[in-house]
Amino acid sequence: MTDCIFCKLANGEIPTNIVYEDEVVTAFLDTSQVTEGHTLIVPKKHLKDIYDYDIKDSGAIFRRIPIVVQALQAALPDMQGVNILNNNGEVAYQSVFHSHIHLIPRYSRDGDDFKVVMPDNGDQYTDEDLAKLAQRIHEKVEV
């Protein structure tokens, strides 16, 4: 895709702070630096979002996550954890429509300034509701 900023970054057309690169992905520091070391893993192949992935794409791309996370951990000795985030679609706050994975190192100093909050809506579903939902999804699984 000729006008995609992440295609240009991942393929070296625009300079960036690369931390890892191979034939499948480019990983570079996010300019927003939510926390020190915030890195994006970007496929070189233009994939809009997770819905564009096939099994081969996902295996190739997600296999690179531990490589980069382990490098972050080695380079940032006070890193105590990591959030791995992948937003898909506007409603999920995807802002660049080229798939990318955020690796956000976490530190005790982060405090409450940054946290991922997921509400617990478990009380809205009975065991029967969950069984029906699981079955509905299971029926749509294609391998």
Active-site positions?
100
Rounded distance between C-alpha atoms, residue 99 and residue 86, angstroms: 8
Closest CA to 98 of 22, 47, 36: 47
DSSP states of 10-42: HTTSS---EEEE-SSEEEEE-TT-SSTT-EEEE
Spatial separation of the C-alpha atoms in residues 90 and 122, rounded to whole Å: 25
